[in-house]
Every structure is written in C-alpha cells, then in structure tokens.
Amino acid sequence: MASITRALRPLSRTTPSARLASKRLATVRPVQSAYAFSTTPRRREADLSELTPTPISLLSETESMMADMVSKFASEQIGPKVRDMDEAETMDPAVVEGLFEQGIMGIEIPEEFGGAGMNFTAAIVAIEELARIDPSVSVMVDVHNTLVNTAIMKYGDAQAHRTWLPKLSTSTVGSFCLSEPVSGSDAFALQTKAEKTADGYKINGSKMWITNAMESGIFIVFANLNPSAGYKGITAFIVEKGTPGFSIAKKEKKLGIRASSTCVLNFDDVVIPKSNILGEEGKGYKIAIEILNEGRIGIAAQMTGLALGAWEHAARYVWNDRKQFGQLIGEFQGMQHQIAQAYTEIAAARALVYNAARKKEAGQDFVKDAAMAKLYASQVAGRVAGSAVEWMGGMGFVREGIAEKMFRDSKIGAIYEGTSNIQLQTIAKMLQKQYTN
C-alpha cells in the first residue's frame, strides 16, 4: 500500500483549495472554496485580517484527502483487528508498522527528516479518523505526533533533529514521561531526580501512566535537576529503550483503550550523554506546559472521533436492523430526538476542536480553546457512547460489536492530559483574568 502522506505531499507544498470537513457529519463534501485557512506553517506569520471568514470545519484539499485516506486505511487495516487487540490488551505490531508505512507517525516532521511536512490540523484530522475505528490506535498516534514529535521539533537543537526525527518518522514510537505516582494533576511535584555527571546526566526515579511505553523506543523524561529551585529545576531529557538502568516495571490492565499500553517505568542510575537534554536546563516545566496545551487538542479530536464512530455504528443499526412493535426503532420519534441531539453535540464539539487547532496554527492564544475543546469533547464522547449502547439494546451490551468498547474507551477522555476539573480550572482562571477590572 502506497504511503498516505507521500501521496499528499505535492498538495501540501502548493496553495491548497479547500473543502468542508463535514463528511464526518454528513455523507457528501461541499464544494471547494477559494480560501484555505491555515494549512502551512507560513500561515502562522500571515496577516489574517483580510481573509474572508470561512466555516471552522473548512479543510484544505490536503486535509480533506488525509481524512479520506486515513479513514480507508483505518477501516481496512485496523478495523478487522480491533476486537482481538482489545481482548488481548496488546497493540498488533502490524498496525504499528502500517502507521509508519503510511507516514501517519510523522505528519508534522519536515520531509528532510523523513516526515510528511504537513500542518497541525492534518494531524488532528488523522487522530479523529483513527478514533472512529479504534481510540487505542488513535491515542498512540496522538501522543507520538502532538507530544513527542512536537517537543523535539520545537525544543530540540539541530543535532537532536538529525538524531531523533528520522527515527520517529519512520520506525520508532515515542513516549512522553511526566506523570508519577504522587504527581498527576500536580505534575510539577514530580520526584524523579537528575544529576550532572562528567559526560552527561544520571536519572533516578519512576514514572506512571506512560502511554505507548511497551511499543516505544524513545522516551522524553522529565526530571528535576535542581530540586532546591522547585519546579524551575525540572528539565527534559531523552532516554532510549535499552539504556542500562531503564526498565518497564508494570503494564496496567485498564477499563478502556486496552490495546494502548500504559506502564510504570523505573530509572535506576540511568546515564545519558549531554546531547540527550531537550531544551535548556530548568526549562522542562515550560516544555511540559506548552506541549500539553497542544496535546489537549489531539485528545479532544480523539474524543470527537470516538463519539462519531459510536454514533454512526448505532445509527446504522437502529435505522436498518433493529425492529420493535413492527417497525425500525429509529423511526420512533423519541429515538429520533435522541439521535439528533447526539449528532448536534458531536458537531458542536468538533467546532471547538477545529477552532482550537486553527488558532494554534495561526499563532494565536489557544490555551482556553484547547481546554474547552477537551472538556466538552470528552463529555460528549461519554454521553454519546453511553446512548449508543442503549439504542442498540442487548447488541450494544455484548462484546460482539464495538459499542461497549467505545463506551469503555470514552471514560479516559476526562482523565488523561489534564482531568476535566483541571480544564475547568484553566478556563475559569483565564475568564477571571479577562473580566477582572
């Protein structure tokens, strides 16, 4: 199978035309527009004041084709393996290999390092499409692209780019290691320590809830190099799997996204060279904050994709298969109202997601928007996935289909990369600042 991103590269290098993204909320794409909104990094420095207003869901031709091609890949290559991976609580290596072959693991990485050289929204589109089929695969791609790749591209020096980006774009999964047993929402209370050595650094401590850990070969690890400075001593380092003293202590058994590995990591006198520092000493807290703000848009996209996948699966069933009292249950007014309400909430959540993505690309302040998108998308995913189980009745409750899996998978959206309460706190603080005299 030809690489998805390789096929799209010529389009991403030109001024793209645009199409609406609403195929995911309808069956037909509207006509193209003469205005493409923020599809390249160059747009971030552009004056947007003269642009004709366009729908938030407007996608460039490249992004629209990305959605179609990732959807096809997910349906054909991932879909048949979803149930087996969930039952085994293991990611099929062939799926990981396929993601790299299609270029989905290096969407924003420049072409010179083996990536696709596309924009942030292209990555969001891919994450959403994958989540319609399997949120476990979607979060692997999300963490790898929006956290790991972005951190190294943004904060790594030229040597770091040459060393790590070719691997991350073509063969090696990455993990973002911030959380610890005693530091979840209070991330900067982390206890993992680093100390300088003659040739580099030595790391000691443990990390918890680390996504992709079983599959990863590259880990961005946050440790405190100067505990006396508090959070201003936190520094980011890059550790490779196989480094002496580094080990995976435990793989968690989870309620949902079971095929996605979540592990406890131990660091016992792990020695790394000076070149493995990411950014500057004592600036790790800034890296974590900024990268997680972007990552929250990815999780929001995962949740909208999940919600849409659950909705589509259940809607097809109630409008085509399940009958009660001599008619399809989808024809009862009470059911139609529930289906319409769920669809409307998905559309609203997607508007928040794409608005946050476009503001990020345009270089505008998007922190509040990302928090609102993640908060609301996770709420919608939970409601819609739960309703989908009820609409399908017994068939929604058994493990024969995907409804119950989507319901289980939806719960994590309110927990990782900032709980719903943390998002509410972020939103409230920014609103208070805005409205305080």
163 pLDDT band (50/70/90 cuts)?
A: very high
Residue 431 confidence (pLDDT) above 70: yes
Q: What local confidence, expressed as pLDDT, does residue 186 receive?
A: 87
- Beta strands at 262-273 and 246-251: parallel, antiparallel or unpaired: antiparallel
- The rounded mean pLDDT for the chain is 91
Residue 274 identity (one-letter amino acid): K
The model's confidence at residue 10, banded by pLDDT at 50, 70 and 90, is low
- Active-site annotation holds for 417: yes
Task: Quote the CA–CA distance of 96 and 85 in Å, as a whole number.
Answer: 12
Element (H, E) at 236: strand 234-240
Instruction: Report yes or no: 138 and 150 within 8 Å, Cβ to Cβ.
Output: no
**What pLDDT, in 10s, does the model give residues 63-114?**
999 999 999 999 999 999 999 999 999 999 999 999 999 999 999 999 999 9
The torsion angles phi and psi of 118, rounded to 5 degrees, stand at: -95, -175
What gap in Å lies between CA 129 and CA 304, rounded to an integer? 9
Task: State how far the Cα of 296 lies from the Cα of 372, in Å rounded to an integer.
Answer: 9
Catalytic residue among 129, 215, 294, 417: 417
What's the CA gap between 352 and 357, in Å, rounded? 9
d(CA 135, CA 115): 23
Tell me the percentage of the chain whose pLDDT exceeds 70. 90
For the chain, list the domains and their CATH numbers. 20-172 (1.10.540.10), 175-285 (2.40.110.10), 288-435 (1.20.140.10)
Average pLDDT over residues 335-362: 97
**Strand duo 200-211 + 262-273: pairing:** antiparallel
Q: The pTM is what?
A: 0.90
pLDDT band at 46 (very low <50, low <70, confident <90, very high): low
List pLDDT tens digits, range 404-429.
999 999 999 999 999 999 999 999 99
Neighbours of 84 (CB within 10 A): 11
Whole-angstrom Cα distance, residue 365 to residue 356? 9
Predicted pLDDT of residue 13: 64
Candidates 265, 244, 262; CA nearest to 254 is 262
CA distance 247 to 49: 52
